[in-house]
Amino acid sequence: MWIWLSHTINQNTEGYRGEKSLIINQTSSIAQGNSSNSITFSMHNHLGTHVDAPYHFLNDGATISDYNASDWVFNFPKIINKALEPGALLTPELVENDIKTNDNTDIILIKTGFEKYRGTEIYWENTPGYSSDLCGLFISKYKSLKAIGIDSISLSSLKHRDEGKKAHIKFLSNNIRIFEDLKLSSIQSPLIKTIVALPLSIDDLDGGPCSIVANIS
């Protein structure tokens, strides 16, 4: 069965710091006598479920368009379940007993349960932070790691901004992409076969919105 791991967004969707950046304009309407319905829209490229490519924090890093199509397919996902309270910081000590070495793992999904606050101020004001030391732990255990994904608004919490910046730089400098604001509550089964994450295909983006699906059993 295939399920969505990306949220839908609307003009009330809040991004980092609570910014509502999606603007939609109706350009033609059948109801108004036009031959078709169409819109224009603009938004921050890190709004909603999105990916950070290395160029987001590294001026010489890869952009979204630098990756091949196959780079957006993950065949050996790993889920780490670790509940986090508002404003908490996830450190290696909190997860090291939950992981075992696996040379095939290509993406880690960190399911914290914080998604339950989505749509409230808590979600962006008190989002959990992620220690930069997690990168060293993960790459020591998972030699094929290509990406991580989280069910909170950003790897960088407003409560732990310096640590969040370090975490971004560490992961991205190791060519590990970061998927943020994921819909991980959809995952009830422990087994995920495949994840397909397709970003908006625009040249030279540092990051962008993604449509993400997972095949579970």
User: Which tens digit of pLDDT belongs to each residue from 154-185?
Assistant: 999 999 999 999 999 999 999 999 999 999 99
- Evaluate whether residue 143 is within a structural domain: yes
Q: Comparing C-alpha atoms, which of 50, 15, 80, 16 is closest to residue 207?
A: 50
- Evaluate whether residue 74 is within a structural domain: yes
User: Which tens digit of pLDDT belongs to each residue from 68-116?
Assistant: 999 999 999 999 999 999 999 999 999 999 899 999 999 999 999 999 9
Domain that holds residue 61: 2-7+46-216
Q: Residue 143 CA to chain centroid, in angstroms?
A: 21
- Evaluate whether residue 14 is within a structural domain: no
Number of domains in the chain: 1
Q: Give start and end residues of each alpha helix (H) in 16-152.
A: 92-95, 121-125, 133-141
Return the sign of the alpha-carbon dihedral for residues 104, 146, 89, 140: positive
pLDDT classification of 189: cutoffs 50, 70, 90: low
Q: Domain of 172: which CATH number? A: 3.50.30.50
Q: Comparing C-alpha atoms, which of 112, 195, 196, 119 is closest to residue 151?
A: 112
- Evaluate whether residue 36 is within a structural domain: no
- Name the phi and psi angles at 193, rounded to 5: -85, -50
pTM over 0.75: yes
- Evaluate whether residue 27 is within a structural domain: no
- Evaluate whether residue 210 is within a structural domain: yes
Q: Are 42 and 23 in contact (CB under 8 A)?
A: yes
Q: Rounded to an integer, what distance in angstroms lies between the CA atom of residue 184 and that of residue 188?
A: 9
Say yes or no to pLDDT of 194 above 70: yes
- Evaluate whether residue 68 is within a structural domain: yes
Q: Rounded to an integer, what distance in angstroms lies between the CA atom of residue 40 and that of residue 25?
A: 5
- Evaluate whether residue 26 is within a structural domain: no
